[in-house]
Amino acid sequence: RTAKRNLEGNAELLHVLQESLTGIRVVKAYTMENLQRRRFGRVNVRLMRQRLKMLLLDAVVGPAVEVIGTVAAMASVGVAGYWVLNGLNGMDAETLLALMASLAGMFEPVRRLSSVSTALSSADAAAERIFEIQTLRPETNAPDAQTLPPHREQIEFRGVSFRYESAADWALRDVTLRIPAGETLAIVGPNGSGKTTLVSLLGRLLEPTEGSVLIDGRDIAHCSLRSLRRQIGLVSQDGVLFNATVWENIACGLRRPAREKVLDAARRADVDEFAQALAEGYDTMVGQHGATLSGGEKQRIAIARAILRDPTILILDEATSQIDSESEHRILRALEEFRRGRTVLVIAHRLSTVMSADRIVVMQAGAILDVGRHEELLGRCKLYRTLC
Ligand code: ADP
């Protein structure tokens, strides 16, 4: 038990450290240094106690076994010696000495066994934690998984409901929606209405609790993950960049893409201009989460990445944070050309995006409240008017 707590304590300590370091800006800006230090201290002290307990157990077991062993040996030698010397059991003194010598020879190995037992139980605790992770269900292809051919007909959500394991309430309730290929569909709704959950189902980042998602009439649960995800381009602003070069961030996930193709994608997404101006051009490291770039630049890299993969389905998650209008204009222009001939689902936050969409879905509390064009919805949907 102590060994297991020890391991958990280690994990907790790393967690607190990582949280403070990655969130260092917030920690400083809100002067949370003392709070974080106390949190770290608490976890640290707890871990220290566990460690001390472990050391104490280790320290007690060895000597205890030794003392018990020695006392037992002395007692038995005393009794046996008495019997032999008084001729009570027919054994002679030489045999007794030989027996004693053999027993003494066994003593050391047996004593060592006791330290094996503590080693075994800490290995056991470690194994338990490994198995906890191993028994998590990995993302797998169904045994009958088929390759999904390039999408050209329609996407269909058929009676889809979804509940997060940790949540009591449904995040999506009985959503049915048909999206013909080539359509640009804007999804709007208040925070927490299920927009992100809905688009996550399309790439099987989440599996529906009930109902199914079909692309061109095929249930995506029976399609291979690779063939499905290769067709989906995802552009969002947050957490999209890796701590690597601009080039690697565009080409990521592809094995040796042609140089020309990467440059072309960068040009079309308007990355080229600012990338050339960086100290080392495309080989400049962007820092963790793209810390050295502006929001608009990050988004343009994300667009270049999507263009390079040439997906049939595009999922856009519009930035909620402010991007200057010059940047916004560039992003819109890059996307305008790119989305032609593709099915686009956009989680929309800007009126301009919503108005340029073919259809708009209004979501509320996990359900579809209304679907239609801008003018129609303005006339009949109160929530939509409010959102506008
Ligand atoms: P939106 O994108 O419209 O803001 P989401 O799809 O992110 O909404 O969330 C829908 C609902 O699911 C919300 O009530 C939210 O609290 C809940 N939710 C989202 N992600 C999780 C999660 N990982 N675990 C539990 N509940 C979640």
Q: DSSP string of 316-350?
A: EE---S---HHHHHHHHHHHHHHTTTSEEEEE--S
| Best residue for ligand 1 mutational test, from 169, 193, 198 (most atoms within 8 Å of Cβ) | 193
Selected residue with higher pLDDT from 44 and 293: 44
Residue where the block lists tokens 């080229």: 272
Query: Can you give the pLDDT at residue 136?
Result: 82
Helices 33-85 and 93-134 pack at an angle, to 10 degrees, of 160
Atom 16, ligand 1: residue with shortest CA distance: 192
Query: Can you give the pLDDT at residue 300?
Result: 84
Most confident residue range from 80-89, 160-169, 232-241: 160-169
Q: What is the mean pLDDT of residues 76-81?
A: 88
Selected residue with higher pLDDT from 320 and 282: 282
Q: What is the mean pLDDT of residues 133-142?
A: 80
- The answer to whether 366 and 171 have CB atoms below 8 angstroms apart is yes
Residue 189 beta carbon below 6 angstroms from any ligand 1 atom:
yes
Portion of the chain with pLDDT greater than 70, in percent? 97
Rounded Cα distance between 258 and 265, Å, is 11
pLDDT of 3 > 60? The answer is yes
Q: What is the mean pLDDT of residues 61-71?
A: 85
Please tell me the least confidently modeled range out of 23-27, 230-234, 306-310, 330-334: 330-334
Query: Can you give the pLDDT at residue 320?
Result: 56
DSSP result, 73-122: HHHHHHHHHHHHHTTSSS--HHHHHHHHHHHHHHHHHHHHHHHHHHHHHH
Q: What is the mean pLDDT of residues 264-272?
A: 86
pLDDT of 99 > 90? The answer is no
DSSP result, 259-299: HHHHHHHHHHTT-HHHHHHSTTGGG-B--GGGTTS-HHHHH
What is the 246 CA–ligand 1 centroid distance (Å)? Answer: 31
What is the 171 CA–ligand 1 centroid distance (Å)? Answer: 6
Residue 299 beta carbon below 6 angstroms from any ligand 1 atom:
no
What is the 285 CA–ligand 1 centroid distance (Å)? Answer: 33
Atom 1, ligand 1: residue with shortest CA distance: 192
| 180-207: pLDDT as tens digits | 999 999 999 998 899 999 999 998 989 9
| Best residue for ligand 1 mutational test, from 197, 361, 364 (most atoms within 8 Å of Cβ) | 197
Rounded Cα distance between 208 and 189, Å, is 20
DSSP result, 155-210: EEEEEEEE--TT-SS-SEEEEEEEEETT-EEEEE-STTSSHHHHHHHHTTSS--SE
Q: What is the mean pLDDT of residues 213-231?
A: 90
pLDDT of 239 > 80? The answer is no
Neighbours of 112 (CB within 10 A): 11
pLDDT of 301 > 90? The answer is no
Residue 361 beta carbon below 6 angstroms from any ligand 1 atom:
no
Rounded Cα distance between 187 and 67, Å, is 75
